[in-house]
Amino acid sequence: MICIFDLDGTLLNTIDDLGYACNYSLKHTGFPTHPISAYPRMVGNGINNLIRRALPEGARTEENVLRAREYFVPYYNAHNTDYTRPYEGIEEVLASLKAQGHRLAVASNKYQQATEKIVAHFFPDVFDIVLGEREGVERKPDPQIVFDILSHLSDRESERPADTSIIYIGDSLVDRDTAKNAGVPFVACSWGFVPRQQLVDEKIAHIVDKPSDILLCCKA
């Protein structure tokens, strides 16, 4: 089975480092900052959209987003593992899936450089492919990132994606829509950045409440 994981809010609690980086960029571009507790409502569609949501409503221009990004990226590159941590039980689940022979992938809207660095830091030699936001490729919920993962694994193993069971695990409605757009089954985890009740209200069929539940979903 191919198990595709979202990163932020699914494998890792990244919110503090994202919030501090965004506040740093806001401060240095002359805009008000936010409490870290406000940031879960702003993440999910890449760094530019995070910055855009964090800017005052009347200042959400592309120019201001790009100005703030110039401060955000170098700060985040230097500090993206300061407070970020795997959710409790995730490391054991990944080890079990790997031992069972499943192929593991990351599909993130975080820019590629940071995605690769963070995954290598917390999960060395675990994932078969790690993809983030890349120039010229639409962000999730566009399904291209899923197709690219499947193409990579198929090319490597000379098999068609359709011949393999696939599951997509994420914490957000963006992930839900990505899986739907790619035509693959979706499992929502309730420990991430979207409140469980919101997942329920959206009538998501499969919701897991602890990482170990993923093992039951990933049985071929």
Sequence spans of domains, the chain = 2-13+85-217, 15-79
Under the banding of pLDDT at 50, 70 and 90, the label for residue 6 is very high
Q: Which residue shows structure tokens 């990132």?
A: 145
pLDDT tens per residue, range 97-150: 999 999 999 999 999 999 999 999 999 999 999 999 999 999 999 999 999 999
3-state secondary structure of 3: strand
Question: Among 1.10.287, 1.20.120, 1.10.150, 2.20.200, what is the CATH number of 15-79?
Answer: 1.10.150
pLDDT computed for residue 45 by the predictor: 82
Strands (E), the chain: 2-5, 12-13, 85-86, 103-111, 129-133, 166-170, 186-189, 207-208
pLDDT at 164 over 90: no
Between CA 26 and CA 38 the distance in angstroms is: 14
* C-beta atoms surrounding 158 within 10 Å: 6
pLDDT at 201 over 90: yes
Percentage of the chain with pLDDT > 70? 95
- 87: which DSSP letter? P
Under the banding of pLDDT at 50, 70 and 90, the label for residue 71 is very high
pLDDT at 46 over 80: yes
Percentage of the chain with pLDDT > 90? 90
Q: What's the mean pLDDT when you consider all of the chain? A: 93
pLDDT computed for residue 160 by the predictor: 45
Same fold, 2-13+85-217 and 15-79: no
pTM of the model: 0.90
Under the banding of pLDDT at 50, 70 and 90, the label for residue 156 is low
Between CA 136 and CA 151 the distance in angstroms is: 17
3-state secondary structure of 8: strand
pLDDT at 220 over 80: no
pLDDT at 159 over 60: no
Mean pLDDT of 51-58: 95
CATH 3.40.50.1000 assigned to 2-13+85-217: yes
Q: Which residue shows structure tokens 């919030």?
A: 19
